[in-house]
Structure formats: C-alpha cells, structure tokens
Structure 1
Amino acid sequence: MDYWEDLGGIPAASGPSVVTIGNFDGVHRGHREVLSTVVKEAKKRGARSVVITFDPHPALVHRPEAAPNQIMGLSDKKKFIEEVGVDALLVLPYTLEFSKLTAEEFVTRYIAEPLKACAVVVGHDVRFGRDNEGDFRRMQELGEQLGFDVIGIDDFGEDRRCSSTWVREALADGEVEAAAEILGRPHRMVGEVIHGAARGRELGFPTANLSPESTGFIPADGVYAGWLIDEANRKWPAAISVGSNPTFEGVPRQVEAHVIDRKDSGVEDFNLYGQRVVVEFVQRLRPMVAYRGIEALVEQITEDVERTREVLLSGQ
C-alpha cells in the first residue's frame, strides 16, 4: 500500500481513483465494509482504491478537553486498512485552517483534482467541510459537478450500528469480548516495554510494563487474559493487569503483562525491555481490588495465571 502524508506525495500520473474519507478509528467491521466496497469498486473500474483519513482526530483540534480516547494509533490504522487490500492511504494533517475549507473546496482540492476520482464511497451519514456543511446529498451534487459517481453505504450491524463510539463504550466497561465482536478481532495496545517498580518480579510474576506513550484505548481497570506479541512476532499467552494496583500506595495507572509458561518455551534470552510490543485483550477475568497482605495477592495472581491459561490454551 502506498502511503502519502500530504498531496505532494501523490504521483502526478496517479488516477483514476475510487476514494473514501473518514477517521476510521478502530478500523472496525463497519469500516471494513466500506473499505471492501472501495477495493471491489476500484477493481471493477480499473482504478486505484484510495482512503483519506486525518491526523490528529478532528475532535482533538476542535475540543481537546472532550475528545474521545483513540481506539488505536496511526500505525495500527495503517496496518488494518492495508489488510483490506487498499492501494493507497492519504493522511491529511488536520488543523484549524484545514477545517475552514468549504465542502466544495475540500472535495475539489483533495479528492477530485489530485486523485482524479471516478467514484467516492461514503456512508449516508457522511459529513465534511466547514462546520460539517457537506452531507451525502451535497457529495452527490459535487459528483455531478466534478465528474465522479457517489456510492452510498448503509449502516453495518444487526441490533446496533457498528461504530467507534460503541467500541469505546465496551472497552470503558472492560467488555473486551464485546469490543472484539465489533472490531472483528481482539482489541490491542502497542507500546515500548519500560522498567517499572519490579514488584511483579519480586512476587515471582515479572511483568512487561507498557510505556505511558503507548497507543490504543486503555480498557477498564482489571485483570485480563490476552496475548503479548514481541518484535520477533512471537505470540505469548499473558495475564494483563490494567490499573494502579490498589494493594500498593502511590502506584500510577499502568498496563503490564505477565507472560505465562515462558520458562517452558525454550527461549533462553527472554528480555522485552526496549521492545515495541503488542498486547491483545481477550477476556476480562476480574476487576482490580486491594488485598490485605502480599500472601493474599500472590494467591490471587496465581489463580489469575491459571485462569488465563484455561482461557487461552484450553483449545490448543
């Protein structure tokens, strides 16, 4: 997949293109329905499939104090868009100046002219341009004016429309299994493993602590069964802790993963410090609670590890 960070990266001979626009945070099942339509339509027309998205999310520019936490970082967004088979991704820097473009200016400058769009695929609830003045009908009018077809996509989902908001709600409640249903895959975070207080190691359960700069929506506090994927693309079963660990005072909120059964893996040099790893959340085991004394905590962690093993490895 070609990756363009501004209009200057688009080859002069590029086109024709079938284009879609959106934030695509999470690249959930509904998003993939749109992306798949773009890919199929482009192949049918002998054109290039192109996705336009924005960085940062517009809400972070207009109302940063109320902007939703992002489900995934830009690198994951690129990864999952590419997996659908899209030919090119254009990431436009979103600024206040950019937001002042009228609907016509945006479509002309960023879709019709540089990408030579022959078709635009959007949901019927699409909004674009200054103050969200553009809607589906306006896109159709601009298509007639600028020479491209407009293909509308209905909402995807059964009882409720698939949406990034729905994913965030599920994750905020710790319902990672429900989030996975909407996403079509386990929710994940990506970040560098850093040194922590080493309490887990002292208790006999060393953990990989994710950097505060890690990307991905942090689910509700609690203990989860999941996977850790290292830089060598090795997938390790892990008990994942999210929270401030109320058994100890003064511990900031953090995400840490204890890889289970690693001593039986045959890997001698198991050092994750400094690695950029992926942590996938499969099932929430329990909420985060405080324990009276180290012995009770160790007993509970031992149980968490056993339940993690059952959840992840029982069918293997």
Structure 2
Amino acid sequence: MVDEAPGRAPERPVVVIGNFDGVHRGHVELLRAAQALEPGAPLVVVTFWPHPMSVIRPDQTPLLLGSLERRVELLRAQGVTDVVVVEFTSEVAGWSPARFVDEVIRPLHPVRVVVGENFHFGFRAAGDVAALTALGQDDPSRPGGGFAVSGVPLLTDGTQPSSSTLIRQAVADGDFGRVRELSDHGFRFCGVVVKGDQRGREMGFPTANVAVPPGLAVPADGVYAGWVTRLDVPDAERWPAAISVGTNPTFDGLERRVESYVLDRDDLELYGVEIAVDFYARLRGQVKYAGMESLIVQMHSDVDHARQLLHSS
C-alpha cells in the first residue's frame, strides 16, 4: 500500500469509510478532516461495491451517480493514496460489527479511522461511532493493533446535510447549478459510443450515442447543453454539445440513450470510443413531433440555445 524505506516500518494510514457515491462536498470535507487529524499520513478510503442497498433492500436501491471507476478517479483527485473496495455481498451484510473491523479495518493497520457522525455498520446497522471506538481500542488478542476513531459532523447547506440523495434529485430535475453547488464538479455520464439509427446524421446533426445502463442516474428525458470529451486521449479537447436524453419518441424509439451532437462538427468518428458527457444546463423536455421537418426546426433552435449558454459559461 505504502512504499517502505529500508529498515523503516511503514507509516500507518488514516482510513476513511463510506459509500462516496458522487464524491460530493460532504465527502470532500470528511477527507479533509482526516488529513487534518493525521497530517502526512497516507489517506486510504474504504468504499463498497455494489451499493449495500442492492443487497439489503434491492427494491430501494438508489441510482448511482457514477461508476466505480469514476468514484476512484474523483477520490484520487482529492489526494487519496489508496481505495479499498469491499465487495458487498449477503455474507458481508451479515457480519457483526466486530467481524467487519477484523476483516476490513485491522488489516489496513490504521492509526485512525474517520467516519461521518451518522455512520453505521455491521448486521442490521448495529454498529455506530461509539461501537467503532470501543472496537478500536488496543487488544493484544487481535491482529493489527488499536486505532483512534473520529466521527465528523455532516456538512450542511444551512438546512440539510449534503448528500448523494440531494444530488440525484438535482440531476433528475436538470438543476445542474445545484449539482455544482453540492459537489464542486458537474454531473458526468460516461460510456462507449455505439452505432445508432443514423437519423441524426441524415438530419445534419450526427450524434455520439451511449446506451443508458441499468442502475446509473441520468437526467430526465429532454435536451441539454454540455460538453463531450473522449477518454481514450490524454488531455483531450472538451467539445461543446447539444445533448438529448430519451428514446426518440418522434420515431417511436424504445431504447433510452444519451445522444450528443458536438456543435458544428460532422467529421468525428467516435464508434467504440469511451466518452464523457458533462451536463451544464437543461434546455427543454422531450417532445414527440409530427415528423422529421418539425424536429429539424427544433434541433436548430436547441443548438443555437446550447451555443449561447456554453459560450457564456
């Protein structure tokens, strides 16, 4: 985990535990608190995949704000040294708080564990910060030694704690200003470009199409302004785009997709390329038009609107 100098014991890390879906401002404050409590110590995050609710209460599983790879990317951007991913299974869900500590935390040899003040863990969420503190006391019979525990107050906007739930609602509403307030970064959707119906190219607006996989959050059906970046090229240019989310009701489509028209570009070949779509603003809802001509007129208007918004951003 950490490089060791010859003859020198490795420095014990400070460990932060959480889901970290979306890596919002509350998560960032938790990481900063850990760094402040143990300056210079390696910063290790323990997170869970899939979301624990998908195992405990599948019918209440939230739509995730990003893939596991995106989560790790955002965590590392905050200075995290290592990310430990716990595969959350029904067996893990049944662990007692003590077993969770023995299986997950002690092997990391932390000097301190930092969690949100509302943190719960173990079977039926039986463990809390007080239980974790007690389990962290040094016990010669347990490997890994003892560790300190800090429960950090939740970051609020003055009325309610910053949370992934609030961001999911803002994404669904197309309120990306609110998303940026809560997360310090916009909402990004990633995927591999697939071949579509070619209707966009026929109408003069070729699009990069990405299917919407189950389990991931996307904005409500409609048209948006944003940017497209290819992820297979380091430091790639970010292109302004008009983005459609939905099923193409004018043509009785069934598959939900994110379709991005890069403004004023018809020369891009992106099939098979992973792209990032960064949403900036909602333009309108999805509408079923009488035919292609009416849709083309509206698309020209959407593109002009997107260009104006993105130029002034």
Q: 2:64 aligned to 64, 70, 74, which one?
A: 70
Residue 142 (structure 2) aligns with: none
| Identity level (%) | 42
Q: 1:140 aligned to 133, 138, 147, which one?
A: 133
Root mean square deviation, CA, Å: 1.9
Residues of 1 paired with 2:154 and 2:64: CA distance? 21
Pair 1:83 & 2:44 matched = no
3-state SS, counterpart of residue 271 of structure 1: coil
Unaligned runs of 5+ in 1: 4-12, 264-268
C-alpha displacement at 1:216, in angstroms?
4.4
Pair 1:41 & 2:34 matched = no
1:161-217 alpha-carbon deviations (Å, 9 max, x no partner): 110111111112222222222121110111000000011111110100003449841
Residue 245 (structure 1) aligns with: 248
Residue 9 (structure 1) aligns with: none
1:281 counterpart letter in structure 2: F
Q: 2:296 aligned to 286, 295, 298, which one?
A: 298
Alignment: residue pair count: 297
Which is further off, 276-285 or 98-107? 98-107
Residues of 2 paired with 1:214 and 1:66: CA distance? 14
3-state SS, counterpart of residue 185 of structure 1: coil
3-state SS, counterpart of residue 194 of structure 1: coil
Residues of 1 paired with 2:198 and 2:25: CA distance? 39
Residues of 1 paired with 2:251 and 2:208: CA distance? 18
3-state SS, counterpart of residue 138 of structure 1: helix
Q: 1:58 aligned to 44, 52, 61, which one?
A: 52
C-alpha displacement at 1:144, in angstroms?
2.9
Residue 311 (structure 1) aligns with: 309
C-alpha displacement at 1:246, in angstroms?
1.8
Q: TM-score, normalised by structure 2?
A: 0.89
1:64-85 alpha-carbon deviations (Å, 9 max, x no partner): 2331111100010000000000
Which is further off, 81-90 or 289-298? 289-298
Residues of 2 paired with 1:270 and 1:244: CA distance? 23
How is 1:269-280 mapped onto 2 (pairs within 5 angstroms)? 270-280=268-278
Q: TM-score, normalised by structure 1?
A: 0.89
Residues of 2 paired with 1:14 and 1:155: CA distance? 31
Residue 118 (structure 2) aligns with: 125
3-state SS, counterpart of residue 60 of structure 2: coil
Residue 156 (structure 1) aligns with: 155
3-state SS, counterpart of residue 290 of structure 2: coil
1:120-142 alpha-carbon deviations (Å, 9 max, x no partner): 11111000111110011112222
Structure 1 segments of 4 or more deviating over 4 A?
none
Residues of 2 paired with 1:123 and 1:298: CA distance? 50
C-alpha displacement at 1:145, in angstroms?
4.5
* Contact 2:12–2:42 (CA under 8 A) maintained in structure 1: yes
Which is further off, 217-226 or 14-23? 14-23
Residues of 1 paired with 2:150 and 2:310: CA distance? 42
* Contact 1:53–1:92 (CA under 8 A) maintained in structure 2: yes
Residues of 2 paired with 1:39 and 1:257: CA distance? 39
1:268-308 alpha-carbon deviations (Å, 9 max, x no partner): x6211110000010000111111222222111110110111
Unaligned runs of 5+ in 2: 3-8, 140-145
Residue 285 (structure 1) aligns with: 283
